[in-house]
Structure 1
Amino acid sequence: MLRNYFHIAIRNLKRNPLYSLLNIGGLAAGLAVSILIGLYVAHEYSFDRFHPEAERIFKTLGRAQFGEQTIQTTAMSAQFGYRTKQALPQQVENYVRIRNAPRAVLQTDASFHSFEDKLAFADESVFKVFHFPLAKGKPSLSRPNTVVLSEKLASKYFGKTDPVGKTLTLDGHIPLEITGVMENIPSRSTLQYDALISFDTQKNLGDEGLTQQLTNTRVQFGSFETYFLLRSGEAKTAVERAIQRLQQREEGERREKPDTFTLEKLTDLHLNGSMQDHSQQYHRLFLGIAVAILLLALINYMNLTTARATRRAREVGVRKALGGLRSDLIAQFYTESALMTLLAFGLSLLLVEGLRPVFFGLLELPIDDTFSRQPLFWSGIIGLAVITALLAGSYPALLLSGFMPAKVLKGSFLKTEGNRVRQSLTVFQFAISVGLIVCTLVVKQQLDFLRKQSPGIERSGVVVVPLPESLAPRYISFRNELRQQPGIQELSVASWPLYKSGVNAYFVKTKKNKEVFFWTTAVDEAFFSTLNVPWKIRPAATRTTAYPLVINESAVSQLDLNRQAVGEKVDLAGHLQEVTGVVADFHLFSGKGKMGGLGMQVVPDTSRALVAQGGCLYLKLRPDADVPRTLAAVGRVFARHEKTNPFEYYFLDEAYDALYKAESKLSSMLAVFTGIAILIACLGLFGLAAFSVETRRKEIGIRKVLGAGVSGILFLLSRDFLRLVLISNLLAFPVAWYFLDSWIKDYAVRIPIGWVWFAVSGLLALTVALLTVGAQALRAAQADPVRSLRAE
C-alpha cells in the first residue's frame, strides 16, 4: 500500500511540474533560512556547554557603589580565589585566575613579528577547570615564562614544525618557552585565547602597578578575573556568603556601602551575563523570524496544495465511492507531503551548505564547523523535517479527504470549502511580511541617521596610528620627520585610540557633594585643531597652570560648575586640576548613549609622556593627498624609528562606522529576511489566486459572454485579495510599532517613528500583492469563455 502511495505521489509531481517546483522551492527556501537561523541561535545558546563541568564553573562579579553610581567589575585581587578556597574548601574544588594581556608583539626572530590581541596570563589550573585539550605537549604553566599556543597561532609562527620546546619573544624582551599546543578553542566559548601565558610571568614584565597587585593578599577588587569550580552548583550561595564575610572582615565599617560579590554561572555569561551588552544580541528576534518564515513556507505549501483541490476532488470522490476509507486517503496525502518535504529538505541542505559562508559572513560571526557536526544538532534537523512534514500535510490531508463523493461526482463541489482558513493564512503571511518591511525601513533609517549625524569632531581624512612605548625616546624626531611629509596637513597625539577603546575615568565630587562618573584623557595642544573640535571658551594665550584641563559642555552641568567654568578646580584622584577652556560635546563612543562629562589634560606637543604610556598619533591628511602613497611614507618613517613593533593604522571614520556593527547586522539581516518572506508570501498568494480562478472559471466565462471586459474581470478577482492585504496591514502595524518603539528607546539620539514608514510598507505590500494576483487574473480574463463553459 505504501509503495502505491509513493507511485501516486510521484505521478502527481510529474503531472504538475510548475506547482511541484513552487511547492518544493518555497518549502526548501523556508527550511534553509530556518536552519541557518536555527544554527546561529542554537550556537548562541550552546555557549560554554562543551566544558564537562560547565554547570559547576562560576565567574566572580563585584559591584561597588559610588554616590548614585553602581560600578560592576570582574577583576579581583590576586589572592581572591586562594582565600575563598581556603575559607570554604568543602565547597570550592578549584579556582583559576586569568588576566587578558594588552595588545602585544610576538616574534620568532627579528624577521618575523606580529601583533596579537588574544593573549592571556593564566594559572596552570586553567586546564583543570576548563576543557581546553592539548594537541601537543603537556599543559604546563607552572613555571614563569612558559606559554601554551593554539593550533592556529602555532601554525602562524612555526608552520608545520612542532613548536614545543621552542621560544617566542613577548614585546621584544620576554622569552616564552612553548610547553604545549592546545586545540583551537571552539567559537561557542566565552573565553577566546590564542595563547595562555603562565601567571607568574607577570612578575617579569617590569610593571610596578601590576607587581603591587600580584602581592595584594586582600579579598577585594583588583586586576584578575577569577573563576571557581565548585563541588556542586548548589554551593553558589554559600560561597558568595563566605566571600562577603571575608571582605567585610577586612574592610570593617570603613565604607558606608560595602562592595558586594556574586557568582555567575559560566553557561549564563554569554547571553545573560551582567557585563554583556544585551542590546546587541538579536538571537531571540532571529529565532522568531526563523519560526515565522517556516510558517510562511508551510502556509505557502498548504495554499498551493489546496489550490489544486478541484483537480483531486474527482479522484477522492471515486475512491470513496469504491469503498476507500478516509484514513487511507489521509495516509496517502501525508505520504505525498512526506515526499515533498523530503525533496524540499534535501534541497534546503544544499542551500544551507552554499549559503552558510555568506550568511555568517553577513552577520560577521566566526561560527566554526564543530557545532554543526554534533549529534544534537542533527537530531534537531531531523526533528524539524518530521514536524514540517506533519504540519505541511495536515490541512490538505484533512480537507481533501473530507470531500463528499456524492457532491463531487455530481459536479456540485463546494467552492468555498476551507475558504476562510486559506484567507486567514494569507492574512497571516502578509502581516508578517508587512511587519518585517516596516522594521527594515525604520532600522535602516535609524542607522543612516546615526552614521550621518556629526560626532562633534572632524573624522574624515583622519588616520590614527597607535604608538608603542618603545618609540618614546625617538618621538620628537619621528614627529618632525612626519611633518615634512607632503600629504600630512596636521598631526597630534592623544593617550587613547578614539572609537577603539575606552578612556580613563574617575568618580568626581560635584559642588553639591555628589559623586559622578567623569571621563578623562590627555591630549597635546594640536589635538583640538587636528580634529577640529569646536571651542565654547578658548583658553587664555598664557598658561596659568602646568597641566591645564579642558572640559566639554556636559561636564560643566554634570560637575555643577558656573557657566563660564574657566578657573574652576576639579579634584581628580586627589589632584586639583584647573579648568582653562570648554569645548563642545563630541562622541567618545557611539551616538547610542548620552554624552558624558569629559576632561582633557593638555600637555605640550614636545612631551614624550603620552607616547611612553602607549598613546596614539592622529594624522590629518590633506584633501588632495595620495592616501596610499602617504601611508606608505608614514610606514617607512615609522620603521626607521621603531624596530620592535609593526606599523599599523586605522581610519577614524571607519572606526566610527564600526561602532554601529550590531545595527548594521540587524539592518542587513532584516532586509534579507524580508525579501525571503515576501517571496514566500507571494507564492502563497499565487496559490490562493490560482484556486480562486479555478473555482470561478465558469463564473468568469459567463461574465465574459455577457460583455464583461478584461479590466472588470481583473478588478473582480483582485478585489478580495487586496482586501486581505489591507487587513494584514492593520494587524501588522500596531505589533511592528510596539517592537520598534521598544527597540529605539535604547538610543539617546533617534528618529521619530512616523506614519510614512507604515504607509510605504503598506503600499509596497499592496503593489506586490496586486502584481502577484494580477498575473493569474489576467490569464483568467483572457481565457476563451467557450472552453470555460464547456460541459465536463
Structure 2
Amino acid sequence: MNRFALLTLYRSLTRHRLYALLNIGGLALGLAVFLVLGLYVRFETSYEKWLPHHQQIYLVQTDWHMENSPFNGAYPNTMGGLLDELKQDFPSLTGTRIEPVPFTVIRNGIGVSEDGARVDSDFSKVFDLQMVQGSLASALAAPANVLIDETVAQKYFGATNPVGQTMTLRVNGEQGSYRVAGVFKTLPKATDLVFSILVPLPPHANEDNWHHWGSTSLYTYLRFATPAAAHTFEAKLDDFADRHGKADIGEHASKTLQLRLLPIARRHLTPAGMQAASAKQTVVTLGIVGTLALLIAIVNYINLATARAGLRAREVAMRKVLGASRAVLVRQFIGEAILMAAIAGLISLAMAELGLPLVNAAGGLSLAIPYSLAVPALAVLVVLVGIGAGFYPAVLLSRFPAASVLSSSRAPGGGQAGSRAREILVIFQFALAIAFVIGTLVLGAQIAHVRNADLGFKRDGLIIVRSLAETESQRGKLMTAFEKLPMIRSVTLGGSNAGGSGNNNADNVPLPGQPGPGPSLRWISVGKAFFSTYGAHLIAGRVFDDEHGSDDSTHRGRNDTRNIVINRQAVAVLGFASPQAAVGQIVGKGNPRKIIGVIDDMRFFSPRVPMDATYYLYSPRTQGFAVATLRYSGDLRTAMAAVKRVWQQIAPEIPFDAASADQRLDELYKADDNAAHLFTIGAVLAVLIGCVGLWGLASFNTARRIKEIGIRKTLGASSFDVVKLLVRQFLRPVLIANLFAWPLAWLALRRWLAGFDDAITLSPLYFLAATMLALLIAVLTVITQSLRAARTAPAWALRHE
C-alpha cells in the first residue's frame, strides 16, 4: 500500500470511528477466541511429541472381545511377561516395560508420596530422556540404583549434588535404600508418562500372573525404525496370541484378546476400554468453536464492509477516473483489510493474555502464550484473515461504475442483491450462535444431571482412604482406631469404592442349562458393613452378615457354594425375571454361587463408563488390596483431621491419602466440567461477536433509512410502527437461522450425549429456549437504534442527507 492509500484508510477510519471500532474489535475478539482455544488444542495434541523419535515408539494395547463383559475394549496395559514372550519369537525386537507403582520417599520416619515407576534395563533403548547428570543406560544396570528428575533433586537435596547420595524409598510396599545414579530433566506437562523417580524392574518370572494371558500389570512399549515396520509387526500379533495364549484363553485366543500397536503420540486422546472418546471429542469440539468464532468475526467484517461500500463509492469512482484499474483497487482494499486484521491481531494478543487466567481457572489448565511460535503464526493468520475478510468487499467496491456513481445524487447501496447477501450472512452468523446456545444449555443440563443423579448410595458423609491399600501389618490396627473415633459412625473395606478407587476384576458366570462360559460379570470383594456404610438400596433378599457362616467367601473351597449379592443389572444379564426371582438361585459351574440378595446399581465409576452387571463377595477379614470407606457425622474438616491424626500415629511412613466421596467423584466429572466451561466461554464470545456485527449493521441500515422513516411518520406512521418495521427486518434472518441451527445442534449433541451411560433426553425445550434467547438478544441488539430512529422528528429526517 502506498502513502495515498494509507491516508485514505486513515481518513475513512477516523470519519467513521464506530464502524472502525466494530470491525477491528470484532476481528480482535474472534482472533483472541481462536488463539486461546488453539492453545488448548495444541497442548492436548502435543502429548509425547517432546520425546525424540516419538514417531518410532508404540504402546502395546490389550484389546478384549468377550460376550457381555464390562471390560471389553482396548486397554493401554499388558501382562508383565509379554515382552519376554515377544522376544522369544522376535529376538531383534526393541522394547521396554514401565510399571507405575506407589512410591514413598521416607525422611526422618515420615513418608512423602512421589510419582514413580519401575522400568527394565532396555528403557534407554526406547525412551531418550534428557539427562542432566549421569547416564540413563548405566544408571538402570544396578538394582539398587535410582534415577530422579530435577524437581525431586531440588526438593530433597537442594544445592547439594544428588548423584551418589542415598534415598530411603518404599516401592510397592517394600522399603529399601537406593543410590542416586543420575538426574533427568523434569518431564513436561504434556505427557502421560507420569514419573519423577525411576528404579530398575525386579525379576517377576516366578509370579503367578506375570505370564498369565489376561492379566494386566504394566505398560509395554516397542520401538520400530519406520511405521511400515510397525504395521508389518502388528499383522503378526494375532498368530502370536493364538500360539502363546492358548493355555490361558483357549483356542483362537486372538478372537478374545488381541494385541494392538498404538503410536505413543496418540495415546492421550485414545479412550481406554469402554470409555467414550471424550478427550478427543472435547479437543475437536473446542477447536471447532474457536474456528467458528473467528469465522463469525470474518463474516461481521464482510457484512459491515459491504453495507458501508456505498460510503466509499465516490472515492472509487474518482480513482477510476484518475486511471486506477480494478486490480489496483482490489489490492488496495485487501491491503486495508490485512492492515485492519493486523491491528486486530495485536489487540487479540492483549485480550488473550488478559483472558488466559480466566480460561485456565475455568478449564483447570495452565496454558501460556509461547510468543516465539504465536507471533509468526498470528502473522500468517492475519494475512489469511485479511484476504478472506477483504476479498469480497474489495471485489464489490471495485465494480462500481464511475459514471453512474458520479452522476447519481446518492451513493449506491448495493441494491436488493447486496441486501440479500447481507441477510444470508446474518442467517449464517445466528445459525451458529443459536447452535452454540443450544449446546451450552444441553451441556449444562447434562453436567447438572450427572452430578445430581442417584448413584445408588448416599454420597454425602463418606471419607475414602485410598492409602490403606499400601498398609499390611498396620491395617487392622488402623481400622480399629478409625472405629473408635467419636464422629465415625461405621467403617468398611472394599475392593472398589466411590470414585473408582480400588481394583477391577471380572469373571464368567455359567448359567444352569445353558451352554458356554456364561456372561462376564464384574466382581467386588467387600468387608463388614459395606452396604450399610454406603447406604445401598436393598431390593430383594438380604446382604452379608456374620450370623450366616456361608457368607464368608475366604473359607470356601473352589467347588464350595459361595453366597453372593448381585446388583440390578446382573438380574437381567443372568436371565432372571425379577430381583425376587433371583434370590435363592445358584449360578456357576465348578465355582457355584448362591444369590442371597439384590441391591440397586451403585455407580462408583465415571458417568461415561456403562453401568455393568456386578456381584459382591464377602471377605470380613483383612483383604490383600482394599480401600477403606468411613461414614462420618458432622463437619468434614473435623472428621478428616481426626482420621489423619490417627494415621500419622500408626503409619507415619506411608503418606496419608484420603478425600470425601464427593471429592473423588468430582475427579470423574472434572474433564467434562472443564470442557463445558471452555465451551460456554467460547460460545458466549462467539454470540457476542455476532451481536456486535448485528448492532453495527442495524446502526448503518437505520441511518440509511432516515428519510424513509421521516416520510412514513409524515404519512401517519407511529413510532411503534417504525420500531416494529426495523426490528422485524432483523428478526426474519434470525428466525430462518433456526432451520439450520436446530439440525446442526441436534446431530452434534446426540453424538456427545451418546458418550454418557446416563444421559438426559434431548428435549425440544432446549431448542425453543435457545431460539427465544436468540430472538431476545437480536431485539435488544437493534432496539436502541430503532427507538432512536423512530423518535426522530419528520422535518429533520426529511432534510437529513
Normalised to the residue count of structure 1, the TM-score between the two structures is 0.90
Using the alignment, how far apart are the partners of 1:636 and 1:521 within structure 2? 30
How much has 1:213 moved relative to structure 2? 5.3
2:572 is equivalent to residue 557 of structure 1: yes
Distance in 2 (alpha carbons) for counterparts of 1:36 and 1:470? 42
- Residue by residue over 1:738-772, the C-alpha shift from the partner in whole angstroms, topping out at 9 and shown as x without a partner, is 22222223333322222211111111111111111
More off after superposition, 8-17 vs 431-440: 8-17
**Are the equivalent residues in 1 in contact too, given 2:356–2:368 (CA < 8 A)?**
no
Shift of 1:450: 1.9
Hey, what's the Cα distance between the residues in 1 that align with 2:322 and 2:703? 26
**Deviation digits for residues 10-68 of structure 1, max 9, x if unmatched?**
33333333222222221111001111112222333333333332222222223455456
Q: Which moved more, 1:410-419 or 1:455-464?
A: 410-419
Q: Is the 8 A contact 2:165 2:179 kept in 1?
A: yes
Inter-CA distance 374–188: structure 2 relative to 1 (3 Å threshold): farther
Q: 2:253 maps to which residue?
A: 258
Q: Distance in 2 between matches of 1:210 and 1:654?
A: 39
Structural mapping, 1:357-756, within 5 Å: 357-365=357-365, 372=370, 375=373, 379-409=376-406, 410-417=408-415, 418-468=418-468, 471-501=471-501, 502-511=503-512, 512=514, 513-535=516-538, 536-539=540-543, 542-545=547-550, 546-547=552-553, 548-560=563-575, 563-571=580-588, 575-604=591-620, 607=621, 609-610=622-623, 613-622=624-633, 625-756=634-765
Count, aligned residues: 768
Contact 2:307 2:413 in 1 (8 A): no
Whether the 8 Å CA contact 2:467–2:654 is kept in 1: the answer is no
> Where do residues 93-172 of structure 1 align in structure 2 (5 Å cutoff)?
94-101=94-101, 103-111=102-110, 113-116=111-114, 118-139=115-136, 140-171=139-170
Residue 314 of structure 2 corresponds to which residue in structure 1?
314
Instruction: Report if the CA contact (8 A) 1:462-1:618 is conserved.
Output: yes
Specify the code of the residue in structure 1 equivalent to 2:572. Answer: S
2:324 is matched with 324
Contact 2:276 2:755 in 1 (8 A): no
Aligned to 2:229: 235
The letter of the residue matching 1:620 is: R
Q: Distance in 2 between matches of 1:688 and 1:463?
A: 58
Rounded Cα–Cα distance in structure 1 between residues aligned with 2:327 and 2:300 = 25
Contact conserved, 1:24 with 1:341, CA < 8 A, in 2?
yes
Cα shift at 1:429: 0.5
Report the CA distance between 1:345 and its aligned residue.
0.3
What is the Cα deviation at residue 153 of structure 1? Answer: 2.8
SS of residue in 2 equivalent to 1:771: helix
Give the drift of 1:644.
1.0
Q: Do 1:88 and 1:242's aligned partners in 2 also have CA atoms closer than 8 Å?
A: no
Contact kept, 8 Å, 1:463 with 1:620, in 2: the verdict is yes
Structure-2 change in CA distance of 1:26 and 1:64 (3 Å): closer
SS in structure 1 of the partner of residue 253 of structure 2:
coil
Aligned partners of 2:342 and 2:379 also within 8 Å: no
Confirm or deny: 8 A CA contact 1:427 1:724 kept in the other structure.
yes
CA deviation after TM superposition for structure 1 residue 467, in Å? 4.3
CA gap of 1:3–1:777, structure 2 versus 1, over 3 A, is: same
Task: Tell me, yes or no, if the aligned pair for 1:702 and 1:785 is still in contact at 8 Å.
Answer: yes
1:279 corresponds in structure 2 to 278
> 1:139-193 deviations in whole A, cap 9, x for unaligned?
1211113222222333333334332222322227122222222222233334232
Offset from partner CA, 1:329-370 (integer Å, 9 cap, x none): 32332232122111110111122223234323422245577x
Question: Identity of paired residues, percent?
Answer: 31
TM-aligned CA distance change 1:408 to 1:29, over 3 Å: same
Partner-residue secondary structure (3-state), 1:291: helix
Q: C-alpha deviations, 1:194-239, integer Å up to 9, x for none?
A: 2222223x66xxxxx974556x5x9986533222212322112432
- CA 1:378–1:184: 2 relative to 1, 3 Å: farther
1:5–1:335 Cα contact (<8 Å) kept: no
Give the equivalent residue in structure 2 for 1:206.
none
Contact persistence 1:407–1:413 (CA under 8 A)? no
Q: Distance in 2 between matches of 1:475 and 1:221?
A: 26
The alignment status of 1:186 with 2:166, answered yes or no, reads no
C-alpha separation between the residues in 1 aligned to 2:468 and 2:447? 35
Cα distance in 2, alignment partners of residues 273 and 55 from structure 1: 20
Report the 3-state secondary structure (helix = DSSP H, G, I; strand = E; otherwise coil) of the residue aligned with 2:492: strand
Q: Deviations over 1:77-112 (max 9, x none)?
A: 55543554564456x4x21111122x332234425x
TM-score in terms of structure 2 length: 0.89
What SS does the corresponding residue of 2:457 show, helix, strand or coil?
A: coil
- Partner in structure 2 of residue 44 of structure 1: 44
Q: What CA distance in whole angstroms lies between the structure 2 residues aligned with 1:147 and 1:35?
A: 42
- Corresponding residue for 1:195? 197
Q: Is the 8 A contact 1:58 1:228 kept in 2?
A: yes
Alpha-carbon distance, 1:379 to partner? 4.5
Q: What residue identity is the alignment partner of 1:169?
A: T
Deviates further, 166-175 or 428-437: 166-175
Amino acid at match of 2:250: R
In structure 2, what is the Cα distance between the partners aligned to 1:180 and 1:277?
40
Amino acid at match of 1:558: V
SS in 2 for 1:456: coil
Residues 75, 221 of structure 1: 8 Å contact kept: no
For the aligned residue pairs, the C-alpha RMSD in angstroms reads 2.9
CA distance in 2, matches of 1:379, 1:411: 47
Q: Which runs of 5+ in 1 are unaligned?
A: 204-208
Give the whole-Å Cα distance in 2 for the aligned partners of 1:344 and 1:560: 65
| Contact 1:147/1:198, CA 8 A, preserved across alignment | yes
Q: How far, CA to CA, are the matches of 1:497 and 1:195 in structure 2? A: 28
**Does structure 2 conserve the Cα–Cα contact (< 8 Å) formed by 1:468 and 1:645?**
no
Of 247-256 and 232-241, more deviation after overlay is shown by 247-256
Deviation for aligned residue 1:693: 1.6
Q: Output the CA distance in 1 between the equivalents of 2:46 and 2:466.
A: 37
The answer as to whether partners of 2:75 and 2:272 remain within 8 angstroms in 1 is no
Contact in 1 for aligned 2:131/2:183 (Cα 8 Å): yes
CA apart distance, 1:595: 2.9
- Aligned mates of 2:542, 2:791 — CA distance in 1: 78
Which residue pairs with 2:53 in the alignment?
A: 53
- 1:451–1:411 CA distance, 2 compared to 1 (3 A): same
Q: Partner of 2:560 in structure 1?
A: none
Label 1:150 to 1:358 Cα distance change in 2 as closer, same or farther (>3 A).
farther
Could you tell me which amino acid in structure 2 is paired with residue 408 of structure 1? V
Unaligned runs of 5+ in 2: 554-562
2: CA distance, partners of 1:688 / 1:62: 58
- Which amino acid letter does the alignment assign opposite residue 596 of structure 2? T
Give yes or no for contact 1:566–1:581 (8 Å, CA) kept in 2: yes
Q: Distance in 1 between matches of 2:483 and 2:164?
A: 46
Going from structure 1 to structure 2, the CA distance change for 1:268 and 1:484 (only over 3 Å counts) comes to closer
